[in-house]
Amino acid sequence: MKLRWRLPILFSILVIGLTALIAVYIRTYVIGSVFSNVKELREERQAVEESIRTEAERLYPDTAAIESYVSRLNAGGGVTVGLYDSGFEPIGYDPWAGDGADRLDRQWYQVKDGEGRTALMLGILSPVKPSDVVLAPAFEQVFIILLLCLSVIFVGMALHLHRLITKPIQRLNNRLGGIRARSLGRPLATCRKDEIGELYRHVIEMEERLHRSGREQTDMIAAIAHDIKTPLTSVNGFVELLLTNESLSEQDRRDYLRLIEKKSHHLTELIQQFSSFTKDEAHLVDLELQPVKFRRFFESTAIEYEEELAGLGFALTWSHSLQGGETFLGHEPMLRRVFANLVSNAVRYGGREDLTVRLTACVRDGQAVMELEDNGIGVPEEHREALFRKFYTVDTSRQIKAGGTGLGLASCHSIVERHGGTIVAGASPLGGLGIRIQLPIEP
C-alpha cells in the first residue's frame, strides 16, 4: 500500500481507537465513580437526617425545644428543616411557605410519642449539589490514562515510522554515499510496493546506469585507441620505411605515400565520426519534440528505404495496421537517422547477398511499435543486450572490415530514449536480427 494512503489510515485508526478507549473508560469507570460518590453523599445525608429525627423524638413533647433545635439547624446551612403537626400544618417558621414545588424533594420523617403514634412531622431537604461531588480524582485518572495511551502510541508510532521510513532512508543515504562508477557493490533489493520501494528501484536503476556509464567510458577509450592505433601503426610503418630505405624506387615511394594518405583520411573520418556522435549527444538534451503523425512518418520512411535497398540489389517489405489518427511526440530528422543507422547496419553486417529487410508498425498498449527485421546472419543471444552500448562490437574483425565505429546503435538508443521510448534487439522470424522501437502515443 502506498504511504500516501497508509499513513492517513494508520493515524485515523489510532485516533478512532484512542477515542473509543477513552469513551469506554469514561463510561465504565468515571460515570460509575460519580454515581458511587453521589450514593455515598446521599447515605451520609440520610444518616444526618435520621439523627435529626432521633433528636426531635428525644426532645418531644417539648415542642418549643424542638422548634428551637430546628431553627438552629436552618441557621447553620447545609440542611433545611420544617416542623409540622400530624396534619402537615407548620409549627413556627415554615421554610417552604408558598412554595409547594419543593414538597416532593423533601424527605418526611415521623416524630412519634411514647405510645408510637405520630405526633409531629419533619420535612428535611439536604440536596446533593454539584460542588459536593468530588470529580477531580476521576478526571485525574482519565488524564493519566490518556497520557499513558498517548505515550504508548507515540513510542509505537516512532518505532513503526523508524522501521517504515527513517531506517530505509538511512540505508539509502549510506548507499548513495558509497556509490562508485567502477563498483556496483552488493545489489540493493526491496520487495516494498510503496513510494520507498519505488525510490529504491530508481536508485538501483541509477546505480546500474552509472556502472554502465563507467564501463562505456572505458570501452570508449579502448575503442578510440584501437580504431586510431590500427591506421596510425600503418602510417608510422610506411613513414619509417620511406626514411630508412633509400633504395626504394620512385614508384614505390609514390605507392607508400598514397597508402599514408589513405590511412590519414581514415583517421580523419574516425575523428569526425567521434566528434559527430558527441555533438549529437549534446544536441539531444535541448531537442524539441513535436506531434508526428505515426502513419505518415512510417509510410514515408518505408518507401524511402524500399527504393534505396532496391537500388543496392536488396529487398525491403513493409506493412502496418495504423488507422491514420495516431500521433506521438518526436523529432523527425532524429528518428529518420535511427532508421538510417538500422538499415545501414542490416546491409553492412547482414552477410547475405539476398538480404531481405522487413518493416512493420502497429499500436500496442498505448505505444507506437515499429519493428525492423532481416534475414541476415544475426547476432548471438548473449550479445544482444549489449548491442546499444557505445563502441560495443560483436566481432571486432568484422567491425574493422565493415568500417564501423560501434556508435550507430548507441546513437539510436540515445535518440529513442530522449523520445521517452525503448529500443531492444531480439531474434527475427526471418532468421536474422530484429530491432523493436516503442514510443508513447499521445492520448
pLDDT digits (tens, 9 = 90+) for 30-62: 777 777 777 787 888 888 888 988 888 888 888
pLDDT at 220 over 70: no
Band (pLDDT 50/70/90 cuts) for residue 327 is very high
Query: Quick one: 438 exposed, middle or buried, by C-beta within 10 A (0-12, 13-18, 19+)?
Result: buried
**CATH class in words for 180-284:** mainly alpha
pLDDT digits (tens, 9 = 90+) for 144-193: 877 888 888 888 888 877 777 788 888 778 777 766 655 555 666 677 77
Enter the pTM of the model.
0.49
Q: Is the dihedral of CA 40, 46, 51, 54 positive or negative?
A: negative
The answer to whether 409 and 393 have CB atoms below 8 angstroms apart is no
Average pLDDT, the chain: 79
User: Residue 430 carries which DSSP code?
Assistant: T
289 closest CA partner among 330, 244, 346, 325:
330
pLDDT digits (tens, 9 = 90+) for 330-389: 888 888 888 888 888 888 888 788 889 999 999 998 899 999 999 888 888 777 777 777
Backbone φ and ψ for 2, nearest 5 degrees, come out as: -65, 150
Q: What angle do CA 43, 44, 50 make, to 5 degrees?
A: 85
Give the start-to-end residue ranges of the domains of the chain. Answer: 3-132, 180-284, 287-443
pLDDT at 90 over 80: yes
Give, in order, the Cα–Cα distances in Å from 106 to each of 48, 86, 289, 314. 14, 16, 94, 119
pLDDT at 222: 67
CATH topology match: 180-284 vs 287-443: no
pLDDT at 319 over 90: yes
pLDDT digits (tens, 9 = 90+) for 201-211: 887 788 777 77
d(C-alpha 425, C-alpha 47), whole Å: 100
pLDDT at 60: 87
User: Residue 103 carries which DSSP code?
Assistant: G
Task: For the domain covering 287-443, report its CATH number.
Answer: 3.30.565.10
